[in-house]
Structure 1
């Protein structure tokens, strides 16, 4: 049976998840979890959570899925040991350095790859499978067809999301929160800039959408797969996951309970049906409207909640009248409304009006507790509304109360049925046998030896009453067999103590099932050649013309290809021409792979790799995820460079990459200069840092222009990205350029250009190569900035007034130092 995996950001949410029918729960401790702003669990809380869940046969997976700094490695090591000793069933990781640490420290603790690892292909799944991972959480951008293909061709467990909030960017690839506000999503502190308003503007700064779209152009709807649960199960996934560690326990209870019912209905084999009540419950508890994301098709604008980034509730009627004097509204209901509910009116002017229902009147003015669909009701509201304004119920008091009952009663909701056998006789202790029907049997006896009763002999009724006193234990008595031989007397306290011991023993037997199997992990230690050439100043370009500009102005290394910012395919002939030009100029030439390589594009990439090795072998191939890394290793003997999106944030990750056969690495742009200096002193690999250019803040399967201008949802896109240049403008008038590559992935670039020009001379002494990201530049801009860096590299580390003035003139005004001098939270 497929696993129903629920989130828990608090003790109450954990109880709600388990009592509502989850098979497993994922949660975090106070450190190293990708939802740092949830309540989370301290060490005592984690021990309690693991025991609570295990007694009920539920697994606990702990997220350790942030990238970590070198300073944090000792604490991570201690934390992993604690989780192992506490009995966590698995850990989820993003950082390959943490995965290496886990292999060394707690080799038997099962490893799950977080969706933050951006695993989106069979190649990536098989790579992690060979590394000893027991489960892979796939990227949310995959289709059912792709999921089915992966499940059919691997032996590792596959986990997919089935409900909850979506990221617009591929998880693990987003730098937007980090670069804008210093709060890193990769370190669990995402500020959700995708939920803020943006305007799509052309190169003149003019709004190109107007009223045809809302302002929340990066805000996806919530995932809802209630209608395709059979297809997901049939695809072969091991675990269906609900997103929501920041959500309140009532949300967890409602969503888990609804999907529990749906999954059980499917396995009952009597035809899969979803009730309207189930649909309403999911919508009512929280929704930004719903989508199946990319599971069934490319939904385009229909995936986005562009007019509202937060809970929209459930439509329950329209305004039919408003009393201006009394501030009483009359509503014709299309759904239920009760006392204690909260509603939002979507008014035509001024946004929305919110009211909590404290009194409710029917059409005749009588006080009522609730109204049903078709009724006309009235209630007080604080502000004016108009006829035909829509009314949404955003808080359902009865649904919240039902959710609360799943965690707040103090007694178990779902109990484990057990059978008991009790025997008593004169001259013998009373014995209690318990059996949970799952192979766990326990026995406990009284210390008191049965005596002949003088007044009140033991009766079956008395025994049943004492055995039934299971109180807040997780068990309920399903059957009881009692044998009393003679008129025997046993004190009630002795019976109670024997029952308590038997229950404790049963607890321990059930808990003992959760033990780790021994695992054999594959040794790594693969050596690959280093690139034949080194380069102090690399320039990343996507066309031959830009390559020429970079070489002519002094670049001693070129990173060519990968994605085209001009939405054009980069053919083998382009790579061969680039290689010939670089070789003639005696500069280093690396080839880049796309950041995302889905199954439908992999064959063409495989052909490129083979052709590169045979006809134009680059000095290194740059890879951006574990799948691409494995692909290059499988098909070529070329040196591999782990680029910045295969995140290297600590020395442990660099050590892992070296052992896995990587020759070089580009460090994460979220590191500060001090951290970079420390890493460079002991790095297992030669290093590069990005020092200039517009950093990619997001890469997305969703495209704003294709969705709202190109008609993606209607079939083939008209490719507006080839007819003009577009950007997203935020509330502060900052413009984030948009580029669409040849695979129709949208890249959101930073509004400001990273520049370390005044500090260019500091990298070579650290032994670090510099890289200019020039794909978003013109040839003229490339010539200008490469020459500037060549000159700046020769300047002293302390600039005089004239040199500082020259640097400012070269850089321009719209620049940022990124995280070099501030780092991230």
Structure 2
């Protein structure tokens, strides 16, 4: 989601080697922020198991007229073109990028070979100063699979339309020729994929044979089990040695040079030469495979790493995230203990609110312009708020360095295990919200083994996606993504899927947000989560029409009081709280 200029700035300000994705399918959603896959398809895109809901057909549903837009009915509205960055490789190298990533998962040999060949040639051209044409290689790479190609966000252009309009890719007319061409290259021991090696063999009568193998970096030695013998008639010839040591067919090696030193009349069996060759090749292969070898780790248990924390058990509390100043009317300070206030609201309206804790809420995606606003208001934030809810590591670091506010790690940190929670605690976090992809068993384990205070989204419409692109731009043929706050389309439509389910969608601060069709709630089963020693139960007012009732019911439930609240069938979800996901 970054431009070349942004990548250049990042490389300039870190000592860490940076990797950039340059070729393949693009996620509609910001990386690591997609819950649409797990909530609709049962598989987490954030964990690499994307169910690709963005490739499905949707319809624009106008909320005011309660009608569908026929011109774009049953269209993969969210599906993006594939990414190709060949024309930007020189600039990326000069920006300081050290590694280029090409999509390879579930791709065939033709795709992989053509894409790698294309970018390898471009990189070689850069470092050699050559100007060899790569146009034909680009066409070849695009022919192996394409939904149409885009340069993405590297060089933003109003003329670079990123929406594909199709879900499945297409292959070029010459795909069979390409597949035939790479057939040999794709074989496990293909001649195109071999490393050059040198052999040096020493044969002395009465001593074991010694074979040395070298790949130019490593030199290793193996010896025969039996000693070499002498023979007048059957002595070993150079031709026999070359023939046997060259048989490297079932390895990744190819013989480049062979040095032979032997006594006159020395004899060695062909089987012994073959065994030496196999032993040497296997030894070198294992040596190279241990280049990034890890230290041996003794068996351990969960308890060996994380001791049980004897935290003081307190009464669970209600936390409330508002989305407009009008939501302040729902605050019952006898029931709500913590208030989250989005950074874009007028914080002066918050200063006189009497409540136990006030936290500034920051979204998962922030731009440089957003940080400029934060910088101007840091002093006021410290005067008004007790803490700040951050939703990405950059924001965490920023507020840790610049303020004394308590740090709460929000739901978009995707905290799903004790390792994550403890790392953040060590960095200075005071509390956290469980990822909405966490289940109750994981929550129980985490509350036992971390000293951080924990929070669960107890009732709210889950943000399924956040994206740079604007689907509504297809309706008004808009190429200006800068004046979104003035646009009449920004919150006019919902997405309607093939089953008739409608998802709220809005454009805010130059980003598009998609929300689930029903609220995620633990109303009715809240006691099960209270028993897991969770500290805060979060209610998000976004799209809620009965906020006060939800606050009252949830407060009563977490305090062990009787509460009457009828959940309508098919009008809510338990999400992943009571089940596992892939």
Secondary structure, aligned partner of 1:728? strand
Matching of residues 625-664 of structure 1 within 5 Å: 625-664=392-431
Change (3 A) 1:795 1:449: closer
Normalising by structure 2, we get a TM-score of: 0.85
- The Cα of 1:648 is off from its aligned counterpart by 2.4
Q: Which residue of 2 aligns with 1:377?
A: none
Partners of 2:66 and 2:501 lie apart in 1 by 11
Q: Which residue of 2 aligns with 1:399?
A: 178
Change (3 A) 1:795 1:684: closer
Q: Which residue of 1 aligns with 2:196?
A: 417
1:178 aligns with 2:38: yes
Structure 1: state its 5+ residue gaps.
1-140, 317-335, 337-395, 519-529, 563-568
Q: Tell me if the contact between 1:535 and 1:588 (Cα under 8 Å) persists in the aligned partners.
A: no
Match of 1:807 among 540, 549, 566: 566
Change (3 A) 1:797 1:438: closer
Change (3 A) 1:465 1:807: closer
Structure 2: state its 5+ residue gaps.
297-310
Q: Tell me if the contact between 2:210 and 2:221 (Cα under 8 Å) persists in the aligned partners.
A: no
1:198 aligns with 2:50: no
Change (3 A) 1:714 1:775: closer
- The Cα of 1:731 is off from its aligned counterpart by 0.9
Q: Cα deviations across residues 738-786 of structure 1 (Å, max 9, x unaligned)? A: 12222x1111011113344444566666453222211345xxx3xx422
Change (3 A) 1:480 1:724: closer
- The Cα of 1:631 is off from its aligned counterpart by 1.4
Change (3 A) 1:299 1:446: farther
- The Cα of 1:266 is off from its aligned counterpart by 2.9
Q: Which residue of 2 aligns with 1:222?
A: 82
Partners of 2:288 and 2:167 lie apart in 1 by 44
Q: Which residue of 2 aligns with 1:408?
A: 187
Q: Which residue of 1 aligns with 2:71?
A: 210
Q: Tell me if the contact between 2:425 and 2:452 (Cα under 8 Å) persists in the aligned partners.
A: yes
Q: Which residue of 1 aligns with 2:146?
A: 287
Q: Tell me if the contact between 2:54 and 2:78 (Cα under 8 Å) persists in the aligned partners.
A: yes
Q: Tell me if the contact between 1:300 and 1:707 (Cα under 8 Å) persists in the aligned partners.
A: no
Change (3 A) 1:469 1:773: same
Q: Which residue of 2 aligns with 1:302?
A: 161
Match of 1:737 among 479, 490, 504: 504
Partners of 1:504 and 1:652 lie apart in 2 by 38
Change (3 A) 1:472 1:670: closer
Match of 2:14 among 144, 154, 165: 154
Partners of 2:152 and 2:112 lie apart in 1 by 21
Q: Tell me if the contact between 2:485 and 2:508 (Cα under 8 Å) persists in the aligned partners.
A: no
1:688 aligns with 2:546: no
Q: Tell me if the contact between 2:22 and 2:85 (Cα under 8 Å) persists in the aligned partners.
A: yes
Q: Tell me if the contact between 2:406 and 2:429 (Cα under 8 Å) persists in the aligned partners.
A: yes
Q: Which residue of 1 aligns with 2:102?
A: 242
- The Cα of 1:153 is off from its aligned counterpart by 1.4
Partners of 2:543 and 2:203 lie apart in 1 by 86
Secondary structure, aligned partner of 2:20? strand
Q: Which residue of 2 aligns with 1:786?
A: 548
Partners of 1:301 and 1:729 lie apart in 2 by 26
- The Cα of 1:795 is off from its aligned counterpart by 6.2
Change (3 A) 1:504 1:815: closer
Q: Tell me if the contact between 1:159 and 1:241 (Cα under 8 Å) persists in the aligned partners.
A: yes
1:709 aligns with 2:476: yes
- The Cα of 1:269 is off from its aligned counterpart by 1.9
Change (3 A) 1:299 1:676: farther
Partners of 2:537 and 2:338 lie apart in 1 by 10
- The Cα of 1:412 is off from its aligned counterpart by 5.0
Q: CA RMSD in A?
A: 3.6
Q: Cα deviations across residues 700-726 of structure 1 (Å, max 9, x unaligned)? A: 122212455362369866953566522
Secondary structure, aligned partner of 2:7? helix
Match of 1:748 among 514, 537, 540: 514
Q: Cα deviations across residues 281-340 of structure 1 (Å, max 9, x unaligned)? A: 22222221111221111568811212x1011223x5xxxxxxxxxxxxxxxxxxx5xxxx
- The Cα of 1:222 is off from its aligned counterpart by 1.3
Secondary structure, aligned partner of 2:514? strand
Matching of residues 323-338 of structure 1 within 5 Å: 336=174
- The Cα of 1:486 is off from its aligned counterpart by 4.3
What number of residue pairs does the alignment pair up? 565
Change (3 A) 1:759 1:426: closer
Change (3 A) 1:432 1:540: closer
Q: Which residue of 2 aligns with 1:474?
A: 252
Change (3 A) 1:181 1:498: closer
Q: Which residue of 2 aligns with 1:30?
A: none
Secondary structure, aligned partner of 1:471? coil
1:271 aligns with 2:131: yes
- The Cα of 1:399 is off from its aligned counterpart by 2.1
Change (3 A) 1:602 1:482: same
Secondary structure, aligned partner of 2:185? coil
- The Cα of 1:796 is off from its aligned counterpart by 9.8
1:461 aligns with 2:239: yes
- The Cα of 1:445 is off from its aligned counterpart by 6.3
Partners of 1:775 and 1:591 lie apart in 2 by 16
1:253 aligns with 2:253: no
Secondary structure, aligned partner of 1:157? coil
- The Cα of 1:215 is off from its aligned counterpart by 0.9
- The Cα of 1:411 is off from its aligned counterpart by 4.9
